[in-house]
Structure 1
């Protein structure tokens, strides 16, 4: 129990030198009641995050049978099930969730130790996990990320696209070091930093008559192209249509903003996309853009972290780099 108490004491934890931290981890992992090593924790985290033994084995670069056997051994050592197994996959039990929580914390501490030692040699690499939504991934992150990685070749960055409302929880749980979310969203008490400001616009083909209206309700008589089912944007538009007491009809649903713009340009229907996507695609296909005046049409994007001070040196450097990007509100687009 000593290791848990120390890890839950932030002031003491923050003051530990890398060597002392490693000894603390060893104390926990080789305790009389629990005999796990770092690779065991990594395997368990991978399986839970993937939602299945098979996919977790792929992430761990191990055979599924050996992964399954090791988790069963862990359950025997713990004296309690860690996973609930079903045909659709696995989910952690209450004990598994507690192990996951501490596993994230310990793995992050090991990474912080590696990052602190990286300056003493050229072999160590830093690993950063960034979770983001569709808008930020395709419209705002690619240029600053490529610039950052060129300047910091020792950094390995994992980027995962996630539904907007799931990103804050992933940061809280430790699955992600940094999240990028669009408002409105429950940030669960995380530290947030403004990142970019976009807005939603209605797009239509230049081959049809110009649309009349500036509010979402004005366009609900048309068939829409996209967004895909289950996406945050789909849920949001469905809710706004329900608030207006009208159905939202689709001719086709898909997640790609680029393909949405191309289909709209071909006259398949109208669409709602971020202005950044419309601006980019207007250089390729003929689109007419109508700006929305609804209050929810503004699309502020924010960076979120549990605590900037708790990030590794490299994660903190990436956060600061993204926060200092000059993202201004998009200029007015061509209306025809």
Structure 2
């Protein structure tokens, strides 16, 4: 087995199609089929159930895809880590965050990276639950998230307020708190499909039987704040992101939903076994939290 075959198999499972998986790996359909068949011979087990509408992994195929994703991620980490070392970066901190934390951490990284001259940082954006699982699976060193699953075997520290608010048209009139249904009454401004924060809003909307209509979907919270504050459509964003991106207080509305009141939380698996670079990064992040508290 080689990593190219494994990468192909993961793409086939993720797309549900050998044709689509082959295209993602820049292979012909016939070459991809031969490679999949070779994997099945290698493991002596059927990995895919083939049908008219595509393919589905067998239980063995699901296990191979799950383990394969971890191996491929590890190989990628190894490649990038060695490339970094070749250029004087002696260690890497693997950081996973949810959408709002990714935006907030830019401010922290801008103020901090020069204090860690020999450390590289990789940052991946995921939903909170997936980010915590990455730490538990040793696929990440640190997570910064808005919620931690109950009973998760990890250590946590509170960081900063991460409540969600609504950005809307600037007005001098009194602004009353908005419920999600009122926000979604008209087309909204949001992040791109697949963004963890926007998926969260969509999930709560659909739980109430509402399918959100989007005026525009944008790649970054700064762009969302800029467009929403013109009155083109309301947007649900973290309050601190609105502050960082210069949204006028006259364009902010409280979001009156229990799930909108949340805090950013630092997650590590075991601080006692953390590398020196990870421990230094955590220490600086906690100092940054203290500085934020002083400013506010």
- Given the two structures, how large is their TM-score scaled by the length of structure 2? 0.66
Matched, 1:301 2:264: yes
- Residues in 2 aligned to 1:198 and 1:45: alpha-carbon distance in whole angstroms: 37
Number of aligned residues: 280
Q: 1:165 to 1:288 in 2, by over 3 A?
A: same
TM-score by length of 1: 0.60
Q: In structure 1, what is the equivalent of residue 289 of structure 2?
A: 326
Q: Spell out, residue by residue over 1:175-225, the C-alpha distance to the aligned partner (whole angstroms, 9 max, x if none).
A: 323222112x5266141422222222222222x563642241583474253
Structure with higher Rg: it is: 1
Task: For 2:187 and 2:269, locate their aligned partners in 1 and report how far apart those are by CA, in whole Å.
Answer: 38
The answer to whether the aligner puts 1:166 opposite 2:135 as a matched pair is no
Instruction: Give the drift of 1:230.
Output: 4.1
Structure 2: stretches of 5+ with no match in the other structure:
16-20
> 2-side partners of 1:209 and 1:156: how far apart?
46
Displacement after TM superposition at 1:300 (Å):
0.8
Counterpart of 1:269 in 2: which secondary structure? Answer: coil
Q: Does the aligned pair in 2 maintain the 1:131–1:180 contact within 8 Å?
A: yes
Choose which of 270, 275, 286 in structure 1 pairs with 2:234: 270
Aligned residue number for residue 143 of structure 2 = 179
The residue matched to 2:139 in structure 1 has which SS?
Answer: coil
Write out per-residue CA displacement over residues 147-178 of structure 1, whole angstroms, 9 at most, x where no aligned residue. 44323333222212123332223333333232
Distance 1:145 1:267 in 2: 32
Instruction: Give 1:135 shift.
Output: 0.5
Q: 1:125 aligns with which of 71, 90, 95?
A: 90
Q: Does 1:142 align with 2:106?
A: yes
* Residues 275 and 43 of structure 1: CA distance in aligned 2, closer, same or farther (over 3 Å): farther
Q: 1:76 to 1:313 in 2, by over 3 A?
A: farther
- Equivalent position of 2:18 in the other structure: none
Distance in 2 (CA, whole Å) between partners of 1:48 and 1:313 is: 34
What RMSD over aligned residues (CA atoms) do the two structures have, in Å?
4.8
Following the alignment from structure 1 to structure 2, what is the Cα–Cα distance between the partners of residues 96 and 230?
25
Q: Which moved more, 1:64-73 or 1:149-158?
A: 64-73
Unpaired segments ≥5 residues, structure 1: 1-35, 58-62, 116-120
